[in-house]
């Protein structure tokens, strides 16, 4: 559970009469024994109320949480979490779930290129892009319902049904020939299945870790980088050899293996909690830090993935071979994997927001610089640097939410975050595409996306300030 300010604890003491002096006999500590042998009445005759100022100056700043959690939310003592052991098995299983969802969704670029060139050449490319946008948004949109099902104890049935739907939808994509068929199978069915699988993969880890929670989140997020690196390469190289239908079937069998293993490994530790409030916990938005953080993440998604979406296309525009430009997305995803692990390790020492803010700022800078990279070496460098910096944004996304309340309600709080940010996820790529269509070059796209990321980073700073009540502290 998030820490509580000393002011909050002390303010709950009655102020009608001063507290009696503390007797040395009541202090059961080594310090008390020394004081009992060597009396110091000037220390013990001082009432508690008169020593509040000393406590304020000696205690480090802590997070002041105003989140009005409903009755039944579990208090999270520091020593109640295993911090390892079976928890690392759960982390590995959750990483497989992330690889099977985000890893597959991040491979959309190779599918759009094949549909545009081979299967649906008469369809407008911007129309085809809606399949990927819908798919990506639906990874987050069911988060609210998935989080609620997790909280009340339906995690394993939800995970099993969603895993089966994802495998079946991937098999069905092999049979599609028309745009509406691809939209139903790859856009809607795959997106919804990924949303319910991913919606449980994040909160379950919070049952096993608190002190190392951010490191665990970072490791889980590397699954997205692994899938986003491997799946496009497999797809691009298999299509000319076995054809598109069998390529999709092979991907479906890979997903079947990963999801089956993950279903065996991932499990919750704490019993379900019947928290009040139903599907929504609107009281959570009474907390200024939570509300501001949700807003900044939604805004950030309007620009954060613009570079990754158009990196290979911009390389072809400046004369780089399509056979090489395709690998730039995989390079960026590989850099993202490193960034997610590093940011997770750092955030356990410094606090998630203290790491998210500088990494997001760097991602905005690299997004601004990206359109001016016109050579192969510069594109490789910007892919690695952007991937490294943006990896923290996704890897640490749920970490501040986990600190703004207890584990009993974490699924619902995380789900509300995912549902809101889905608006930014679905609107971001079409907005960037419209800017490119208007101006015919990517410099304006980079300026737009970079500035949006800067705005989101500024709001992160405001959320951190509201949570800490000042500029300095660990959060």
Q: What is the pLDDT of residues 278-321, one digit of tens each?
A: 666 777 777 888 889 999 999 998 998 888 878 888 888 888 88
pLDDT, residue 192, reads 93
pLDDT, residue 55, reads 39
Cα 107 to Cα 110: distance, rounded to the nearest angstrom:
6
Question: CB under 8 Å to 186, separation ≥6 — which residues?
Answer: 111, 131, 135, 169, 173, 176
Q: CA-based diameter of the chain, in Å?
A: 92
pLDDT, residue 189, reads 94
| Pair of tokens at residue 183 | 């939209």
**Is 463's pLDDT higher than 70?**
yes
pLDDT tens for each residue of 100-114: 998 888 888 788 878
**Is 225's pLDDT higher than 60?**
yes
Q: Average pLDDT, whole number, for the chain?
A: 78
Pairwise pLDDT comparison (99 vs 228), residue with the higher score: 99
**Is 75's pLDDT higher than 80?**
no
Q: By percentage, how much of the chain surpasses pLDDT 70?
A: 79
Q: Band of the pLDDT at 277, cuts 50, 70, 90? A: low
Asked whether the beta carbons of 347 and 399 are under 8 A apart, the reply is yes
Q: Band of the pLDDT at 52, cuts 50, 70, 90? A: very low
Is residue 302 classed as helix, strand or coil in its secondary structure?
A: coil
Q: State the alpha helices, DSSP H only, in 83-212.
A: 86-105, 108-114, 125-140, 143-151, 155-173, 179-182, 190-201
pLDDT, residue 432, reads 85
Cα 5 to Cα 52: distance, rounded to the nearest angstrom:
12
Q: Is the dihedral of CA 306, 344, 213, 475 positive or negative?
A: negative
Asked whether the beta carbons of 152 and 272 are under 8 A apart, the reply is yes
Cα 319 to Cα 325: distance, rounded to the nearest angstrom:
10
pLDDT, residue 382, reads 94
- Look up the pTM and report it: 0.71
Instruction: Specify burial of residue 44 (Cβ count, 10 A radius: 0-12, 13-18, 19+).
Output: middle
Pairwise pLDDT comparison (428 vs 73), residue with the higher score: 428
pLDDT, residue 241, reads 92
**Is 2's pLDDT higher than 50?**
no
pLDDT, residue 323, reads 80
| Pair of tokens at residue 344 | 């997770």
**Is 82's pLDDT higher than 80?**
no
**What does the pLDDT average to over 370-396?**
90
pLDDT, residue 386, reads 94
pLDDT tens for each residue of 158-197: 999 999 999 999 999 999 999 999 999 999 999 999 989 9
Question: CB under 8 Å to 54, separation ≥6 — which residues?
Answer: none
pLDDT, residue 368, reads 94
pLDDT, residue 31, reads 38
Cα 80 to Cα 213: distance, rounded to the nearest angstrom:
13
| Pair of tokens at residue 273 | 């909690």
**Is 5's pLDDT higher than 60?**
no
**Tokens 């985000």 found at:** 102
Tell me which H or E stretch contains 354. helix 352-369
Instruction: Specify burial of residue 305 (Cβ count, 10 A radius: 0-12, 13-18, 19+).
Output: buried
How many Cα atoms sit within 13 Å of 347 on the Cβ side?
A: 33
**Is 379's pLDDT higher than 90?**
yes
Pairwise pLDDT comparison (51 vs 316), residue with the higher score: 316
Q: What are phi and psi of 6, to 5 degrees?
A: -60, -35
Cα 72 to Cα 353: distance, rounded to the nearest angstrom:
27
pLDDT, residue 251, reads 95
């Amino acid at each position: 559970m998030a820490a509580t300010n000393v002011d909050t604890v002390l303010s709950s003491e009655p102020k009608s009469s001063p507290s009696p002096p503390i007797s040395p006999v009541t202090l059961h500590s080594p310090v008390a024994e020394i004081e009992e042998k060597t009396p110091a009445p000037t220390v013990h005759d001082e009432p508690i109320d008169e020593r509040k100022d000393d406590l304020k100056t000696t205690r480090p700043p802590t997070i002041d949480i105003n989140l009005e959690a409903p009755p039944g939310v579990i208090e999270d003592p520091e020593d109640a979490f295993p911090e390892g052991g079976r928890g690392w098995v759960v982390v590995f299983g959750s990483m497989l779930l992330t690889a099977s969802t985000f890893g597959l969704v991040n491979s959309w670029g190779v599918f759009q290129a094949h549909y545009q060139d081979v299967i649906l050449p008469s369809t407008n490319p911007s129309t085809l892009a809606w399949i990927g946008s819908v798919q990506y948004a639906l990874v987050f949109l069911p988060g609210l319902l998935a989080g609620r099902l997790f909280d009340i104890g339906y995690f394993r049935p939800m995970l099993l049904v969603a895993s089966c739907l994802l495998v079946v939808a991937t098999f069905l994509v092999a049979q599609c020939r028309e745009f509406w068929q691809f939209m139903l199978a790859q856009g809607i069915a795959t997106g919804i299945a990924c949303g319910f699988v991913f919606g449980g993969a994040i909160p379950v880890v919070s049952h096993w870790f608190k002190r190392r929670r951010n490191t665990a989140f970072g490791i889980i997020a590397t699954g997205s980088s692994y899938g986003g690196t491997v799946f496009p390469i497999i797809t691009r190289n298999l299509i000319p050899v076995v054809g598109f239908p069998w390529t999709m079937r092979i991907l479906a069998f890979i997903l079947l293996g990963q999801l089956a293993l993950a279903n065996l490994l991932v499990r919750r530790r704490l019993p379900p909690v019947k928290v009040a409030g139903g599907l929504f916990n609107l009281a959570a938005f009474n907390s200024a830090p939570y509300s501001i953080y949700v807003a900044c993440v939604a805004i950030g998604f309007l620009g954060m993935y613009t570079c990754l979406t158009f990196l290979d296309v911009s390389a072809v525009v400046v004369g780089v071979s399509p056979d090489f430009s395709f690998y730039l997305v995989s390079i960026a995803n590989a850099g993202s994997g490193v960034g997610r692990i590093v940011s997770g390790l750092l955030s356990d020492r410094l606090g998630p927001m203290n790491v998210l803010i500088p990494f997001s700022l760097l991602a905005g800078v690299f997004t601004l610089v990206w359109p001016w990279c016109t050579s192969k070496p510069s594109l490789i460098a910007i892919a690695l640097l952007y991937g490294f910096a943006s990896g923290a944004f996704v890897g640490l996304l749920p970490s501040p939410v986990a600190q703004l309340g207890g584990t009993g309600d974490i699924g619902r709080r995380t789900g509300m975050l995912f549902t809101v940010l889905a608006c930014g996820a679905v609107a971001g790529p079409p907005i960037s595409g419209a800017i490119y269509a208007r101006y015919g070059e990517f410099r304006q796209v980079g300026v737009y996306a970079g500035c949006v990321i800067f705005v989101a980073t500024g709001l992160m700073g405001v959320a951190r300030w509201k949570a800490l009540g000042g500029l300095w502290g660990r959060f």
